[in-house]
Every structure is written in C-alpha cells, then in structure tokens.
Amino acid sequence: MFTGIVQGMGKITDIAQPSPDFRTHTVELPPEITDNLQTGASVANNGCCLTITRIDGNKVSFDLMDETLRKTNLGSLKVGDSVNLERAARFGDEIGGHVMSGHVMAVTRISRIESSEFNRTVWFELPENLKPYILTKGFVGLDGCSLTIGEVNDSEFCVHLIPETLERTLFGSRKEGDLINIEIDPQTQAVVDTVMRVLAQKAV
C-alpha cells in the first residue's frame, strides 16, 4: 500500500534487457529513503509497485515483466531518466494523500500545461475506459502522486499543482506529450462499479 506522497526522485543508472519482454532497472535512490531498505521490499516507481531484487549502496535494482513494460510508462524510460519514488507505507504512517495500490490502470499523455507565477494546471487526455471514475474534486494517482482532480470535460481532465509539488516530483519538469501513469481511486471505483451493477440488474 502507498499513500501517494512522493518521497524523492531517483535516476535510472542502468537498464539490462536480456529479452524484449523483460528488463532490470537500476535506480539511484536519494539518501532519505534508503534507511533499512531490504531486498524484497516494495517501492513505487512512477506509481508502479516494484520489488527490490538487488541493493548496492544507494543503487537498487527492480525487475520489470512484460505486463509492466506494456501497461506503464516505465517501458519507455532510458538511462538518465528519473522516476518518482515512494516506499510502501508502514503501520502508523500518516496517509497524507489517499490509499494507493501501486497498480497502474492506464497510461495517458499531458495534453496542455497552463502556468502562472505560483501555480501550474496540467491537462491530461482522458482514457475512455476510465471516464466513469475521473470525477471533479475526486482523487487520482498520477505517476505516484496523489492529486485532486480540478476539472473534467469530454476528452480531458486537469490537476492544479502548487510549487511544493513541482519541486518534489517530476511534475516540475514534465512537458506536453509526456506519458503519465494513472491509478484511479479504489474507493471511487468500488462505489461507481457497485452503482453500475445495481442499475444494470434493475434494467433486466
């Protein structure tokens, strides 16, 4: 389980790809998230839950299977790229964002960015299959960040970002066209799916 509060950014220092459907990423972690880190621990990379397979100082390795490479933006990354990082939540940790599983449901693109002196509004393409779950003022996970949805239209949705978020996450350097991982809020999904199922049964 994750909270959607990014704890740092890490740089990919090596990619080993013995076959087209398997990769190992080595990521250099910031010192603040390496305390008591062990092989087998879960760390979200751009919101995708990955398992540590090797530790060498502050450099850790993660194996990426075909499903991860195809359904997240991790498969498009290269050496030198950075990722948002969050270690799995522990009992008693503050849930500063919202509960996230680390299971990416879709990848979208940034369609446009509107900036002012202290704020930034980022618009994303709205995947057709996720439209029922993207609601104004609801939660959404974007590259591992727990964010509040600002507005929704037929083809896009947006989030409003404060300077703190821009400084602590990759959103400070994101640009139009970039691929972004999406995880919808599980509570929203449960409510929407339940309502849709009940309505479908009544229509029979």
CATH number, domain of 150, equals 2.40.30.20
Same domain, 128 and 193: yes
35-65 per-position pLDDT tens digit: 999 999 999 999 999 999 999 999 999 999 9
DSSP state of 194: H
Q: Write down which residue in 54, 87, 120 finishes a domain.
A: 87
pLDDT number for residue 154: 95
User: In the listed set 87, 119, 136, which residue is the last one of a domain according to the structure?
Assistant: 87
In a domain, 144, yes or no: yes
Same domain, 111 and 163: yes
pLDDT lower than 50: segments of the chain: none
What letters, b where the CB count within 10 A reaches 16 and e where it falls short, cover 117-134?
A: eeebebbbbbbeebeebb
Both 115 and 78 in a single domain?
A: no
Among 114, 163, 121, 170, smallest CA distance to 142 is for: 170
Q: What are phi and psi of 3, to 5 degrees?
A: -110, -10
Percent of the residues in the chain that have a pLDDT greater than 90, as a whole number: 82
Q: Report the pLDDT value the prediction gives residue 28, as an integer from 0 to 100.
A: 98
Domain count, the chain: 2
Q: Are residues 112 and 83 in the same domain?
A: no
Separation between Cα atoms, residue 37 and residue 86, nearest integer Å: 12
Structure tokens at 120: 């930034």
Residues in CB range of 123: below 8 A, 6 or more apart: 110, 111, 112, 113, 114, 156, 157, 158
Q: Which domain holds residue 189?
A: 106-203
Q: Is residue 32 part of a domain?
A: yes
pLDDT of residue 193: 87
Helix H or strand E encompassing 142: strand 139-142
Three-state SS annotation for 45-57: ECCEEEEEEEEEC
Closest CA to 62 of 119, 24, 107: 24
Q: Of 11, 15, 133, nearest to 69 (Cα)?
A: 15
For residues 175 and 151, the answer to whether their CB atoms sit within 8 Å is: no
Q: Are residues 78 and 114 in the same domain?
A: no
Check whether residue 77 and residue 16 sit in a common domain: yes
- pTM for the full predicted model: 0.92
Q: What is the pLDDT of residue 94?
A: 63
